[in-house]
Structure 1
Amino acid sequence: MNIASTIVTFIFVFGVLVIFHEFGHFYFAKKSGILVREFSVGMGPKIFSRQKNGTTYTIRWLPLGGYVRMAGWGEDENTLPAGSNVGLVLKDEKVQRINLSDKIQLTDALPLEVTNADLEKDLKISGFVYGQGEQVFTYPVAHDATIIEQDGTEIRIAPIDVQMQSAKVWQRILVNFAGPLNNFILSLVLFIALVFIQGGVQVTNTNLVGEIQANSAAEVAGLKENDAITAIDGTKITDWQDLTAIVSQSPDTPLQLTVQRNGQTQEVTLIPEPVEQDGVVVGKMGVAAPLKTDLTSKLSGGFHLFIDNSLAIFKVLGSLLTDFSLDKLGGPVMMFQYSSQAAQSGFTTILALMAILSVNLGIMNLLPIPALDGGKIVLNVIEGIRGKPLSPEKEGIVTLIGFVFMFGLMILVTFNDISRYFMK
């Protein structure tokens, strides 16, 4: 049952993060006039597909995230090599559909062996028509024609005017930035939701007591909500840091608390309950910090959680430069381990994990490393400054170097995670 819940949690968290990220690219690509040929939920073989407004929406068997396929972006292919056997569906003397798949038979398709095809600029396809001898026939291709790929997925062809490189530089920067931006938005929304679920923002710069847990050491001692603990064994208490520091260091040890309640001072004896945390026994009194429950506090509390977690990531990245260690990084194995812990702790912990990972994903993707969104943005900025893009050869080499670096790092991080979590 634990393994099943962990797998479901991992798929849910990973899927939501990736799909939100990809939807950012998808949305701004559409707004910039870039053709999004496919938006897929899941990976691997296709289960379902439907085309609308030029985009084919697919659901695939492996429930591990998803992807967007933008014209002229990344590994997108838009070529038909010579020798390909295709079926052409013509209407008004123009090719409307090109069938490459053996899985789909079109009864009205014209069988053709391709000798030359340009689906980007001239929009023409030439070849030998079966049964028509050695004569080469050339057919114009409609701008919004579709191509049925080997796996049966039907997508639009990608003429040059709707490809990524045809958009303005600022539009391409926005498209590349939109994925991480969506992760930031998701993280912020989740942190705000967590504050609402919690009931408000904890106030820790006070010595007031919040909610008292049932059957806790605090309830046994007679503490009440809104009591002010002013001293413990004569040591002055001004905030929660003072309070928790003394209590946690005193498991199963009687403590004399000076408490103010309704303007009156009284003495209370508290015996903190011994609880094991990370292999160490600490004292627990069973009270929560008081909460600010107004709307403004809840919204600002979620925003502050988002900022604090973002700054924590930058601190880790900074420490990597001065003291590199693979233990400071984590990959899918670490995420699976965290998913296991979150699944056992409940839905609120899963949301917290998703919020933290989402801001992590956003920031990591903006690092200026080729093959990441940040690296692509750097290339866009360089193009804007130079007034022209890098040559395809140079850009390909830079991207390949970035990919090899990231792939190698991923292997090292994954092996290190396996060693940490499963070979102890």
Structure 2
Amino acid sequence: MNTVIAFIIIFGVLVFVHELGHLVFAKRAGILCREFAIGFGPKVFSFKKQETVYTIRLLPIGGFVRMAGEDPEVIEVKPGYHVGLMFDAKGEVNKVVINNKDKYPDAKIIEVEYADLERELIIRGYELNEEETLKDYKVSKESYFVMDGQEIQNAPFDRQFGSKTLMQRTLAIFAGPMMNFILAFFIFAFLGMVQGYYINEAVIGELAPDGAAQASGLQQGDKVLAINDESVSTWEEVVKIIQVNANEELLFLIERDGQSMNIPVTPKSDKAENGEERGVIGVFMPTEKSFLGAIPNAATETYTWTKEIITGLGKLITGQFSIDMLSGPVGIYKSTEVVAESGIFLLMRWTAVLSINLGIINLLPIPALDGGRLMFFAAEAVRGKPIDRHKEGLVHFIGFALLMLLMLVVTWNDIQKFFL
């Protein structure tokens, strides 16, 4: 149960932060955002604040911000339609009743001759039960359609995604992945301030029980000045000497409480991941706690993990990794289960790494992902005009279908790996 809760929280935070980036920058650009959703599929929970409906959906495979103009508007008012018009204090139409007009006795019923609710914001028509006089009705920019008792806000062209500048659209899309990197940075910074962060100094860190360092009398905080008369100043230099001297006594010149002393230490033999023998003395890299130091360390960790993940993706593309090494929701769940057993701090670090991974994946130039959208914006910048919307939509649809297929394959591999 703890793993389920941890997975739901991690998934929710990553998707929420990602979609929040889209939402904030879209709203700053003046785009009408109809829905902010965590998950896909049927709605589990929803509420409306101002002009946006916030929903939690059943399937935990992502999220979305539904911006006006990205999809065809669901309601159209065409010539010949009979609609009801309701007016605000300025005499402008603020509600267009599409059906069930008998439930709105105050609405003026007209037969539509012409309507432009995006640019001109007018409805022209004949009022029923009156003389057949054609009349124009000015529509408010904050108007609503009323259909099946539900109010749906109309989106004038200047509130639609496509009306915004190339830079505004680019920022609205790029902001999602950007927020994932920012989240990782803040998690690493918090952990650095609370737990401390590794420093590349020749200082003895935490000692492992029953290690050669503890048996020899070394203590945490000892500053290593030299090993076998060879001066050292960084942790990397200390480790390098220890690793090539398995089972060979080393004389550590250390400084403790302002005094120098020599301590002999014999590294034990251990095998590295590549099978080679190496020396170890059971000492962890030194750490430091500092608010000012935690900030650059967080930037370094974010950069390092970003580089590692990109390198891994590169190996996948070149065939050095196989698709079987990819993990979907099931694989991430099982990994979260293992990490959760090690405590909240390691779980937070795992969340930061997943956040970076989500940001990078979304920036890949694949249709239906943010990177695919940005690729079309780049083409628009080069051409000086946008790609045809229908062609772009078809590319994204095909890309989304292929992504769903890939997710099914990866999920099936995870199920076979962990449960069959």
TM-score by length of 2: 0.78
- 1:47 to 1:221, Cα distance in 2 relative to 1, 3 A: same
Whole-Å separation in 2 of the counterparts to 1:47 and 1:131? 44
- 1:60 to 1:295, Cα distance in 2 relative to 1, 3 A: closer
Q: Does the aligned pair in 1 maintain the 2:86–2:96 contact within 8 Å? A: yes
Larger RCO, structures 1/2 (Cα 8 Å, 6+ apart): 1
Moved more, 89-98 or 34-43: 89-98
Deviation at 1:241, TM superposition (A): 6.1
Q: Say which of 176, 196, 202 aligns to 2:199.
A: 202
Q: Does the aligned pair in 2 maintain the 1:316–1:328 contact within 8 Å? A: no
DSSP 3-state at the match of 1:259:
strand
Q: Say which of 297, 303, 314 aligns to 2:299.
A: 303
Aligned length: 406
Matched, 1:343 2:340: yes
Q: Say which of 142, 149, 164 aligns to 1:144.
A: 142
DSSP 3-state at the match of 2:47:
strand
Whole-Å separation in 2 of the counterparts to 1:192 and 1:90? 54
Tell me what 1:365 maps to.
Answer: 362
Deviation at 1:111, TM superposition (A): 10
Q: Say which of 58, 70, 74 aligns to 1:78.
A: 74
- 1:422 to 1:243, Cα distance in 2 relative to 1, 3 A: farther
Matched, 1:259 2:247: no
Aligned ranges 1:3-152 → 2 under 5 Å: 4-41=1-38, 44-45=42-43, 47-52=45-50, 55-60=51-56, 62=58, 64=60, 66-73=63-70, 75=71, 77-80=73-76, 89-91=86-88, 94-97=92-95, 110=107, 119-121=117-119, 123=121, 141-147=139-145
- 1:182 to 1:112, Cα distance in 2 relative to 1, 3 A: farther
Whole-Å separation in 1 of the counterparts to 2:368 and 2:179? 19
Tell me what 1:289 maps to.
Answer: 285
Q: Residue by residue, what CA displacement relative to the aligned partner does 1:54-73 show, whole Å, maximum 9, x if unpaired? A: x3242436494643221112
DSSP 3-state at the match of 2:341:
helix
Q: Say which of 199, 215, 218 aligns to 1:223.
A: 218
Deviation at 1:413, TM superposition (A): 1.6
Whole-Å separation in 1 of the counterparts to 2:37 and 2:146? 16
Whole-Å separation in 2 of the counterparts to 1:99 and 1:283? 79
Moved more, 331-340 or 353-362: 331-340
DSSP 3-state at the match of 2:360:
helix
Which amino acid in structure 1 is aligned with residue 408 of structure 2?
A: I
Q: Residue by residue, what CA displacement relative to the aligned partner does 1:137-174 show, whole Å, maximum 9, x if unpaired? A: 99764321234677x87542212221010001121111
Deviation at 1:201, TM superposition (A): 2.5
Whole-Å separation in 1 of the counterparts to 2:230 and 2:97? 81
DSSP 3-state at the match of 1:27:
helix
Q: Say which of 349, 354, 358 aligns to 1:352.
A: 349
Q: Does the aligned pair in 1 maintain the 2:267–2:280 contact within 8 Å? A: no
Unaligned runs of at least 5 residues, structure 2 = none
Whole-Å separation in 2 of the counterparts to 1:130 and 1:329? 63
Unaligned runs of at least 5 residues, structure 1 = none
Q: Does the aligned pair in 2 maintain the 1:87–1:110 contact within 8 Å? A: yes
Which amino acid in structure 2 is aligned with residue 51 of structure 1?
A: K
DSSP 3-state at the match of 1:263:
strand
Matched, 1:389 2:382: no
Q: Does the aligned pair in 1 maintain the 2:121–2:138 contact within 8 Å? A: yes
Q: Does the aligned pair in 2 maintain the 1:180–1:363 contact within 8 Å? A: yes
Q: Does the aligned pair in 2 maintain the 1:330–1:414 contact within 8 Å? A: yes
Deviation at 1:342, TM superposition (A): 2.1
TM-score by length of 1: 0.77
Moved more, 166-175 or 137-146: 137-146
Whole-Å separation in 2 of the counterparts to 1:399 and 1:335? 26
Which amino acid in structure 1 is aligned with residue 331 of structure 2?
A: M
Deviation at 1:77, TM superposition (A): 3.7
C-alpha RMSD of the superposition = 4.6
Matched, 1:421 2:418: yes
Whole-Å separation in 2 of the counterparts to 1:84 and 1:353? 56
Q: Residue by residue, what CA displacement relative to the aligned partner does 1:387-418 show, whole Å, maximum 9, x if unpaired? A: 22222332222222322222222222222222
Moved more, 320-329 or 370-379: 320-329
Q: Does the aligned pair in 2 maintain the 1:78–1:119 contact within 8 Å? A: no
Tell me what 1:177 maps to.
Answer: 174
Which amino acid in structure 1 is aligned with residue 316 of structure 2?
A: L
Deviation at 1:120, TM superposition (A): 3.0
- 1:59 to 1:154, Cα distance in 2 relative to 1, 3 A: farther
Which amino acid in structure 1 is aligned with residue 220 of structure 2?
A: E
Deviation at 1:25, TM superposition (A): 0.9
Q: Does the aligned pair in 2 maintain the 1:56–1:154 contact within 8 Å? A: no
Q: Does the aligned pair in 1 maintain the 2:218–2:263 contact within 8 Å? A: no
Q: Does the aligned pair in 1 maintain the 2:199–2:288 contact within 8 Å? A: yes
Q: Does the aligned pair in 2 maintain the 1:202–1:289 contact within 8 Å? A: yes
